[in-house]
């Protein structure tokens, strides 16, 4: 589980950094700020969802599905609700280019969701192989 959490942290950070480097060179350091806030709003919730899914899958056959549903809802509230809160609380920081800020949040959200679904799918397949092989 710790390996999967490290993957869920590392892959989005790596991909966002690979996108942010050229964008920061082209559009300025504002891109780094947007990327950092977007990752901060989406990655911790994704890791919590992954850990919750691991625990819930042991309790019930449908635990992973329930955890994904709950995690998606929480990630939407924290990710996009948090983005709106940061947008208004930060004053003029993000108001210069609001589209770029919210595009970073959307991109980080979707990237995190893709990695998490891949990890949960592989976890489910590994669990299925273990139970069918016994």
Residue with tokens 């966002």: 16
Chain-centroid distance of CA 103 in Å reads: 14
Chain-centroid distance of CA 104 in Å reads: 12
pLDDT band for position 83 (cuts 50, 70, 90): very high
Q: Is 46 helix (H, G, I), strand (E, B) or coil?
A: helix
Reply yes or no on whether the pLDDT at 129 is more than 80.
Answer: no
Overall average pLDDT of the 29-39 stretch: 90
| Structure confidence at residue 9 (pLDDT) | 86
| Structure confidence at residue 82 (pLDDT) | 92
Overall average pLDDT of the 88-107 stretch: 90
The conformational region for residue 7 under phi > 0 = left, psi -120 to 50 = alpha, else beta, is: alpha
d(CA 58, CA 111): 26
Q: Give the mean pLDDT of the chain.
A: 83
Task: Tell me the whole-structure pTM to 2 decimals.
Answer: 0.80
d(CA 65, CA 71): 10
Terminal Cα-to-Cα distance of the chain (whole angstroms):
22
pLDDT band for position 134 (cuts 50, 70, 90): very low
| pLDDT 10s digits, 15-27 | 988 988 988 889 8
Chain-centroid distance of CA 128 in Å reads: 25
């Amino acid at each position: 589980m710790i390996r999967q959490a490290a993957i869920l942290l590392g892959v989005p950070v790596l991909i966002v950094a690979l996108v942010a480097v050229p964008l920061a060179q082209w559009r300025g350091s504002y891109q780094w700020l947007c990327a950092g806030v977007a990752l901060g709003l989406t990655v911790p919730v994704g890791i919590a969802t992954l850990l919750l899914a691991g625990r819930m899958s042991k309790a019930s056959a449908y635990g992973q599905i329930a955890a994904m549903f709950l995690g998606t809802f929480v990630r939407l509230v924290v990710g996009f609700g948090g983005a709106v809160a940061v947008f208004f609380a930060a004053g003029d920081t993000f108001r210069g280019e609001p589209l770029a800020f919210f595009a970073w949040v959307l991109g980080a959200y979707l990237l995190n969701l893709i990695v998490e679904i891949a990890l949960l799918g592989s976890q489910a397949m590994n669990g299925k192989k273990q139970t069918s092989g016994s």
